[in-house]
Amino acid sequence: MSGDWNTKYGTRRVRHDPPTLEEAIFAAIGITDDVEAQAEIASSLMGLPYEEVLAEVKKTARVSARTGTATRVIAGEQGAQRSVVVERRVVRRLVPAKRTGT
């Protein structure tokens, strides 16, 4: 898909900034606690080989285990802070209770 298209107001462009590896790992950590699953999610977001991402995820896990912190601030190109929003959808299934006949 092209980043440019014509509208009645003129040509419009969309800026596409793919996530950095650090941002992809941060998002994956918010989704699951399993290291292998985090590497798989981050590699699919980035389009990088699984083994390369797995090594970085393990480094990140070691650093966070030593420091004990779970939050990270990601600085942009010019030092401005960027927000990474990860929404987790919880599926709740209701099981109907059995009725006893009286």
Query: What are the pLDDT digits (tens) for 63-91?
Result: 766 655 445 555 666 656 666 666 666 66
Average pLDDT in the chain = 77
Q: Which of 30, 29, 78 is nearest to 58 (CA)?
A: 29
The better pLDDT of the pair 40, 33 is held by: 40
The answer to whether residues 19 and 30 touch, using CB atoms and an 8 Å cutoff, is no
Decide: helix, strand or coil at residue 60.
helix
Sign of torsion over alpha carbons 69, 70, 71, 73: positive
**Percent residues over pLDDT 90 in the chain:** 18
Query: Residue 54's pLDDT is what?
Result: 93
pTM: 0.52
Strand pairing report for 10-13 and 4-7: antiparallel
Cα separation, 81 vs 84, in Å, equals 10
Length of the chain counted residue by residue: 102
